[in-house]
Structure 1
Amino acid sequence: MPAVRLSDVAQDAGVSLATASRVLNGSTRVPGKAVAEKVEASALKLGYVPNAQAQALARSRSGLIGLVVHDIVDPYFATIAREVQQQVFASQSQVLFTQTDREIDTEIRALRSLIAQQVDALVLVGSHRYGNDSDAALTALLEGFARNGGRVVGMGQSLGVGRTIVPDNAAAAHELATALIVGGHRRFAVVQGIAGIPSAGDRTGGFIAALTEAGIEPELSIEVGLTRDGGHVLAQQIQEHLAAAPDDPVGESLPLCVFAPADVMALGALGELRRLGIDVPGQVAVAGFGGVPDADDANPTLTTIALPLHEMARQAVDWVLEQPDEGSAIGPEGSEGGAAHEAADTSPEGSAEETPSEVHVRGDVLLRESTALAASD
């Protein structure tokens, strides 16, 4: 059977082709309710399926949202990506997803591809400044997309373009370290020196600042990758350290408390410490950062900073879908945006590039089994 055309629907409903298009392709110029219902009924009866390209032209939007994360295996990114997907799908839009493995060249290629697919917005989750010459290329790409009506939303490190939800990493890590000290911990190991990941540096910096204020020096400083495998390496280096210096240097039979600046690393360390036969929290205590759901199910349950991941994702989608005359729930007033369908050196009529803005969020300290100290006699 030949494919059902829009003209067939228009003829069956007794309306013009333009009217049928406005109803079925999502134009803002929708006719009256009775006419719209007649067109929709004809489309259902004939089995007509709207053309996506025609819908994009009618709406001046593609209904596509580009989502960029570092590593979908990491439960931090997986939690946010799932919430973004659910919120976007509920709005009748779709997500085009890519991961970058924290490689800036991969990220730039991915962004170019998403923009070529005429996405309406880009949502970038994680640190997206790598401290090298390619940062300028990334900035230029995002600025050009925004100039042409696309929306840019970041979650993590400030992008300098569009809107960004920024966790107060240093302050939260400082609060976590303080809580551990108040709880009785005096021996600490920290993960630092993760190149190109400012958020991790901020977290470790805030943690060490609290130790310094309490007159405590980290017993051990380790450089490993911000991944589950990095957590395995972290546990192995902890084992080597304990074997080389088994005595408690503070003379209080306290465990060594390890701070990993990401839950995925802390969870990897927990698993490897168990495999190595090291008691957690008896010999080694472990704290993470992020508040991923997996931390609740770990054995022992993981002490962490719980960021409002679901709320952050919902706010990002609210910004993406915000109409030109709507205000933001927690951020500045919205400005007009739309699909970036024009050439890089021209701005579509009526578009307006947003002034870069940030909204800061705080996490909650969750002290759990992984840092519990044995009760003293």
Structure 2
Amino acid sequence: MPAVRLSDVAQDAGVSLATASRVLNGSTRVPGKAVAEKVQASAEKLGYVANAQAQALARSRSGLIGLVVHDIADPYFSTIAREVQQQVFASQSQVLLTQTDRELETEIRALRSLLAQQVDALVLVGSHRYGTESDAAIGALLQGFERNGGKVVGLGQSLGVGRTIVTDNAAASHELATALVVEGHRRFAVVEGIAGIPSAGDRTGGFVAALTEAGIEPELSTAADLTRDGGHRLAERIHDHLLTAPGPADSPLCVFAPADVMALGALGELRRRGVEVPGQVSIAGFGGVPDAADANPTLTTIALPLAEMARQAVEWALVSAAPEDTPSADRPREVHVRGDVMLGESTALSSAV
């Protein structure tokens, strides 16, 4: 059976092809209500599906939002992606989702592909290092997209263009470390040296700064990927460390992982290795993903307002800004969020240290 054409709808409704196109392709020059309803009824009866490219031409916009995340398997990114999808879908627009695996070349290809799809806005989630020589190509793509009327929204760290929702990583981690010291923790291990992820460095830096103020030095600093597998490798190093430096029985080693996905991976692997959590090792993460509350034991973390962050990002991506309200490339508009310390069972102490 041949596909139903726009001309078939126009003939059935008894209107011109131009009138049918205006009704079904989103033109601002829509005829009267009675005519529009007649065209819509014919389209529904015949099973006509409007051409997305024709709609984009009629509206001078595609109705597409490009969403770029590092790893959709990470509950932090999947939670944000779900919220963005729901918000965008409610506005009658659609999301084109891509992940980069934190690879620069992959991100460049992803952005070029989204721009080729004529997206109206780009929402980039996660930590980036735009402005450095190594990723000048990405900066040029974003700046060119914005100059041509596209909207750029960063969620996590400033991109140097567009608008940004910035997480105050160092301040939040400082607050978390202080809370753990107040709870009675005195032995700490931290993850640092994660290349190319400034947010992770900021989180560990803020955490260690609070320990220094309390007169405490981490007894172990190690490197691991900001992933579930990285959490497994972190657990292996913690396990090996405990074999050589078990410490007092009443003083567990408190491990700070700068992402919930890593902390959850470490928690699971430690328990598989027979290490008691929180008995021998305490674990804290960062992000506040739903999985943190479902873990056994529940995960201590910094709970970021992920749903609100996604809502703000979508609002900026969808709402047209007046010329005088458009942020400059030198000073993009920013909203800062810190999150709340959530002390879970993973850092509980059986008695004061």
TM-score by length of 2: 0.95
2:139, 2:171 → 1: CA distance?
A: 27
1:178, 1:292 → 2: CA distance?
A: 21
| Contact 2:130–2:138 under 8 Å retained in 1 | no
1:356 pairs with 332, 337, 341, which one? Answer: 332
Corresponding residue for residue 371 of structure 1 = 347
Please tell me the residue identity of whatever aligns with 1:241: H
Q: CA RMSD in A?
A: 2.1
The more displaced of 130-139 and 55-64 is 130-139
| Contact 1:130–1:197 under 8 Å retained in 2 | no
**Runs (5+) with no aligned partner, structure 1:** 327-332, 337-351
Question: Secondary structure of the equivalent of 1:216?
Answer: coil
1:359, 1:31 → 2: CA distance?
A: 42
- Structure 1 runs (4+) greater than 4 angstroms displaced: 333-336, 352-355
| Contact 2:146–2:162 under 8 Å retained in 1 | yes
Corresponding residue for residue 265 of structure 1 = 262
The more displaced of 9-18 and 273-282 is 9-18
Q: 1 or 2, which has the higher helix percentage?
A: 2
1:125, 1:91 → 2: CA distance?
A: 20
1:12-23 counterparts in 2 under 5 A? 12-23=12-23
Deviations 1:330-358 (A, max 9, x none): xxx8549xxxxxxxxxxxxxxx9896221
Question: Secondary structure of the equivalent of 1:279?
Answer: coil
CA distance 1:150–1:376, shift in 2 (3 Å): closer
Give how far 1:17 is off: 2.4
CA distance 1:5–1:302, shift in 2 (3 Å): same
1:245, 1:324 → 2: CA distance?
A: 58
Give how far 1:311 is off: 1.1
Deviations 1:183-215 (A, max 9, x none): 111111110111110000110011011111111
Ranked by relative contact order (alpha carbons within 8 Å, sequence separation 6 or more), the top structure is: 1
Corresponding residue for residue 292 of structure 2 = 295
The more displaced of 270-279 and 84-93 is 84-93
1:142, 1:366 → 2: CA distance?
A: 36
Percent identity between the two aligned chains: 81
Corresponding residue for residue 136 of structure 1 = 136
**Runs (5+) with no aligned partner, structure 2:** none
Corresponding residue for residue 120 of structure 1 = 120
Deviations 1:187-244 (A, max 9, x none): 1111011111000011001101111111111111111111111111111111111111
2:12, 2:234 → 1: CA distance?
A: 69
CA distance 1:131–1:44, shift in 2 (3 Å): closer
Corresponding residue for residue 234 of structure 1 = 234
| Contact 2:79–2:289 under 8 Å retained in 1 | yes
